[in-house]
Amino acid sequence: MVTFPTLRPRRLRKNKLIRDLVAETNLTTSGLIQPIFIKENINEPEKIESMPGVYRYPPNDHLIKFIEEVYSSGVRNFILFGIPSFKDEFASSAYDKNGIIQKSLRLLRQTFGEKILLITDECTDEYTSHGHCGIITQKDGKLCVNNDESLKVHALIAVSQAEAGADIIAPSSMMDGVVGAIRKALDEAGFTDTAIMSYSVKYASTFYSPFREAAYSKPSFGDRRGYQMDPRNAFEALKEASLDIEEGADILMVKPAHTYLDVIRLVKDHFPEYPLAAYHVSGEYSMIKAAAINGWIDEKTAVLEITTAIKRAGADLIITYYANDIARWIKEGVPF
Ligand code: PBG
């Protein structure tokens, strides 16, 4: 005789209303952060070949128009990346009062006041002639990134970004002690209310390649494996996160996101009291985009499924080149 089950999980999947009623994870627009590339000495937006649909903006009406468009979708948070026309060994254009990011921050503050949240990526790789995330010195006859010399430059950049109006500074260099150095410098300069979102757990990932084309920040020699994390390690993430917490980080981050869901879960479980950001990076964006352009996947459903997975893994905030689209799609209703 056939016995029929009395426990039937399918009852709660009967239709969309009941699925929405019991959904454990819901994407929210308030947790989305839109990255923006801002480039010096151009007048029109420029296409980025490796990231279809993403542009480099000049700090003028074009940038304002783009932010207005994203704002009207509901996104309020932006992380800015600067592309300077001048580079040197010391990243001096990164802490210039009239640098690309400083100029843009003032323009956006003037235009939008407190209506938008402005986060700045704090690093040197876009500003150095060698493309590394710090200062290069010789050690045992070899060129290497000098950790403690680099801290001084990162502190200068952070303070100049805060001065120009950044709400949150996001150090992405993976130098040891960078969060502490920045916190101290910000406090001494009177920016005690400027928050730090640390790229705490940032892996040496091949999925940053499209970004490096977008921002012209590929290292001219060597790679970043001496400072970014080894993709084979998960528990080491806890060491990185706990050091950043001790040094004064307000928000933690795991990067990339889609390929490191286990790490997001691990960090969230260990430090649930800290807001956790996840960065869905350029390569993760471009892979979906390429498949969508070829008609191999449905872009909206794929993006919403992946972004929901990132949130389900434990991310509170998500940095994504799809932020504008996701916000519009949430309004239309998710297709689950
Ligand atoms: C460093 C920085 C990088 C990204 C964000 N901040 C590049 C790198 O570490 O090489 C990558 C972001 C992405 O791939 O979308 N300033």
Does ligand 1 lie within 6 Å of residue 170's CB atom?
no
With a 6 Å cutoff on the Cβ, whether 50 touches ligand 1 is no
Distance CA 309, CA 198 (A): 22
Within 44-172, strands assigned E span 46-47, 55-57, 77-83, 117-122, 135-139, 142-146, 168-171
DSSP of 210-238, one letter per residue?
HHHHHTT---SSS-STTTSBPTT-STHHH
255 is catalytic: yes
CA distances from 259 to 175, 254, 263 (A): 23, 10, 9
Place of tokens 């996160």: 241
Domain boundaries, the chain: 19-332
Mean pLDDT of 242-254: 98
Ligand 1 pocket test, candidate residues 83, 132, 172, 173, most atoms within 8 A of CB: 172
Establish whether residue 121 lines the binding site of ligand 1, counting it when its CB lies within 6 angstroms of any ligand atom: yes
pLDDT 10s digits, 305-328: 999 999 999 999 999 999 999 999
pLDDT digits (tens, 9 = 90+) for 64-73: 999 999 999 9
Question: Residue 6 Cα, ligand 1 centroid: separation in angstroms?
Answer: 52
Residue 1 is predicted with a pLDDT of 77
Check 255, 268, 289, 311 and give the catalytic one: 255
CATH 3.10.20.30 fits 19-332, yes or no: no
Atom of ligand 1 nearest to the CA of 228: 9
Looking at the predicted structure, is the pLDDT value of residue 2 above 90?
Answer: no
pLDDT at 179 over 90: yes
Tell me the pLDDT band of 278, cut-offs 50, 70 and 90. Answer: very high
Q: Is 321 in the pocket of ligand 1 (CB under 6 A)?
A: no
State what percent of residues in the chain have pLDDT above 70: 100
Work out which ligand 1 atom sits closest to the CA atom of 123.
16
Q: Contact, 217 vs 210, CB < 8 A?
A: no
User: 308 CA to middle of ligand 1, Å?
Assistant: 22
Shortest-distance Cα residue to atom 10 of ligand 1: 208
Å from CA of 297 to ligand 1 middle: 26
Give the Å distance between the CA of 305 and the centre of ligand 1.
Answer: 23
Q: Are 26 and 327 in contact (CB under 8 A)?
A: no
Q: Which protein residue's CA is at the shortest distance from atom 9 of ligand 1? A: 208
Cis? peptide before 256, omega within 30° of 0: yes
205-236: pLDDT as tens digits: 999 999 999 999 999 999 999 999 999 999 99
**What is d(CA 125, CA 219) in angstroms, rounded to the nearest whole number?**
8
Ligand 1 centroid to 113 CA: how many Å? 27
- Would you say the CB of residue 123 lies under 6 angstroms from ligand 1? yes
pLDDT for the residue 169: 98
Our answer to whether residue 115 is catalytic in this structure is no
pLDDT digits (tens, 9 = 90+) for 87-116: 999 999 999 999 999 999 999 999 999 999
Ligand 1 centroid, distance to 279 Cα (angstroms): 10
d(CA 90, CA 265): 37
* Shortest-distance atom of ligand 1 to CA 209: 14
For 331, other C-beta atoms within 10 Å of its C-beta total: 10
